Structure 1
Amino acid sequence: MKQFSTNHKSAGSAAASVLAFALAAGAGQATAADWSQTDVQVMNGTGFRDPGIHDDVTKTTVTLQHVSGYAYGRNYFFVDSYWGTKNAPRSNDIYGEYYHYLSLGKTSGATFGGGMLKDVSLTAGVNAGSSTGGAATRILLYGVTLDLALPGFNYFNVDLLAYDDRSQFDGAPTHYRKSYQVTPVWQLPFSIGPTHWSFEGFCDYIGARGQGTVNQLLCQPQLRLDVGELVSGRRDAFFIGTEYQYWHNKYGIDGLDESFPNIMAVVKF
């Protein structure tokens, strides 16, 4: 998932606060959940670029991801843990995000014409992390999400969000200006002979926030093969595949780019 270099000791509380907020926000709908899905992803990549480090960094990423739907919308959160194994100044980094989507269709009974646009949701989210360099990342996001009906896709959503960066460095506010984030998210299942696959992922396009930052683009498309079905006959439980990480102007830093594949394994619960 989305990644940000963070310090284990301080970021643990930051990511934990995101997770606690996610669980608290969803607690009221837990008994009324219409559906839910949790998975654990393990990935390894060798082309990470961190500010101030000339060489590529190798990291293993462990992600806990959860999404659930209830009568009026859905909740989504993830927590990433990064374990540096080569050229990494920190051995363990943690980062988390939480989003809530309040469906206008479900709350008002409105329909959107039955065409490509299935639903519109009011969306609010929070991103949190901390770094050994003295940075404390706190980003608030709010806006709308468009749920689109595209042939063959299980889902294709587009977030249109205000991006309010309230991060601090060494305890001092950064005074970033408000910006925006546009995020398409998708899942496209398909079959090749007797095998079942999934092409899924997201892209974040984030505008410049002042203080020398520039526009940035982060894309993490995944190609997954359902190996659980091949081995045990159990569908949609265990996958292997690859996630390609492309990050242009990482963190809004002009010229700091990543482009490399991760190998991955996923277990769904």
Structure 2
Amino acid sequence: MKLTKIALATAMTVAAGAASAETFFYDNSVSVLYGESYEVGNSDKTVVTFEHFSANSWGDIFIFGDRLINNENEVPNTTGDDGSETYIEVAPRFKVSDFDAGFVKNVYIATTWEMSENNDDFLVGLGTDFNIPGFQNLSFNAYQRLNDDGDNNYQTTTVWGVPFAIAGQNFMFDGFWDWATATDDKAATSNFTYQLKWDAAQALGTDNKVYVGIEHAVWNNKFAIEHTSGFDTKENVVSALVKVHF
């Protein structure tokens, strides 16, 4: 099953690259997070993240990679001597309908390939974008998950971005909510994460967005490991954030 999912995900990614006849918009960023209240693994972590998003004539694609660095050496695990690890997602969506003027903006075939040092999971389903006043973006995706570790299940993902200004300064409130259903051997899991950040570009005299702020992540049954561990899998972590777009 794992080889089948990897083959599907590879084909999905290659198809997305080959199909990019015209790019309407793209954005890249690198961010650094620092938090001290993680429950899973060491409590003190730095996370370095690369993100890419582009909108194309065929749809869009979001790619990110996290490098989670444990700042203590107290909780080793199977991903490394100190528990540090890398996690990557590749998520192309293929447009099937376009309703630019309506409440529903676009409809997609939505796919995601989740890659960790232990598992490769593949998600496929339907996605939508919405036209909502005040929102830079609002999307909702519903997937079936094909899981390496355990039974398959279902997931919904909501993503939003709301820019706003206070006293001539630009801010952004954005984030996502992943919710996955329970299986016979694992409880449901939820990850609600948002960032609240100030764009310091004007103060720094640069054209590129440079965000400073916080990320707040609320996990319930993190990594769906509730039934296989003796430690708390609920997290409520506020991290300092610096994010540079280019």
Question: What TM-score bracket applies, with the shorter chain setting the length?
Answer: 0.7 to 0.9
Moved more, 40-49 or 83-92: 83-92
Unpaired stretches in structure 1, ≥5 consecutive residues: 1-16, 131-135, 168-175
Question: One-letter code of the match for 1:144?
Answer: L
Root mean square deviation of aligned Cα:
2.2
Contact 1:177 1:210 in 2 (8 A): yes
Matches within 5 A, 1:251-262: 251-254=223-226, 256-262=233-239
Identity in percent = 22
Matches within 5 A, 1:175-214: 176-211=150-185, 213-214=186-187
Task: Give the one of 57, 70, 75 matched to 1:71.
Answer: 57
Q: Give yes or no for the alignment of 1:49 onto 2:36.
A: no
Residue 233 of structure 1 deviates from its aligned partner by 5.4
Question: One-letter code of the match for 1:161?
Answer: Y
Contact 1:22 1:98 in 2 (8 A): no
d(CA) in 1 for partners of 2:105, 2:59:
13
Contact 2:21 2:57 in 1 (8 A): no
Q: Which residue of 2 aligns with 1:231?
A: 204
Matches within 5 A, 1:1-269: 24-29=14-19, 32-50=22-40, 57-86=43-72, 87-89=74-76, 90=82, 92-105=84-97, 111=99, 114-130=101-117, 136-167=118-149, 176-211=150-185, 213-232=186-205, 234=207, 236-254=208-226, 256-269=233-246
Contact 1:43 1:265 in 2 (8 A): yes
Q: Which residue of 1 aligns with 2:3?
A: none
Aligned residues: 228
Question: One-letter code of the match for 2:241?
Answer: M
d(CA) in 1 for partners of 2:12, 2:211:
26
d(CA) in 1 for partners of 2:83, 2:153:
32
CA shift digits 1:29-76 (9 cap, x unpaired): 4563222111001001111122xx6xx511100001101121110111
d(CA) in 2 for partners of 1:60, 1:22:
31
In structure 1, the residue corresponding to 2:119 is in which secondary structure? strand
- TM-score when scaled to structure 1? 0.78
CA shift digits 1:126-172 (9 cap, x unpaired): 10112xxxxx21211000111111110011000111111123xxxxx
d(CA) in 2 for partners of 1:193, 1:247:
34
d(CA) in 2 for partners of 1:48, 1:246:
10
In structure 1, the residue corresponding to 2:151 is in which secondary structure? coil
d(CA) in 2 for partners of 1:93, 1:177:
24
d(CA) in 2 for partners of 1:24, 1:121:
17
User: Are residues 37 and 232 of structure 1, via their aligned partners in 2, closer, same or farther at CA, if it must alter by over 3 Å?
Assistant: same
Unpaired stretches in structure 2, ≥5 consecutive residues: 1-6, 77-81, 227-231
CA shift digits 1:206-263 (9 cap, x unpaired): 111322x1011101100010011222153x5211010001101112233510002010
Question: One-letter code of the match for 1:218?
Answer: N
d(CA) in 1 for partners of 2:122, 2:51:
19
User: Are residues 42 and 96 of structure 1, via their aligned partners in 2, closer, same or farther at CA, if it must alter by over 3 Å?
Assistant: same
d(CA) in 2 for partners of 1:155, 1:187:
5
Question: One-letter code of the match for 2:133?
Answer: P
Question: One-letter code of the match for 2:219?
Answer: W
- TM-score when scaled to structure 2? 0.85
User: Are residues 20 and 178 of structure 1, via their aligned partners in 2, closer, same or farther at CA, if it must alter by over 3 Å?
Assistant: closer
User: Are residues 199 and 207 of structure 1, via their aligned partners in 2, closer, same or farther at CA, if it must alter by over 3 Å?
Assistant: same
Question: One-letter code of the match for 2:190?
Answer: L
User: Are residues 226 and 22 of structure 1, via their aligned partners in 2, closer, same or farther at CA, if it must alter by over 3 Å?
Assistant: farther
User: Are residues 268 and 20 of structure 1, via their aligned partners in 2, closer, same or farther at CA, if it must alter by over 3 Å?
Assistant: farther
Question: One-letter code of the match for 2:96?
Answer: L
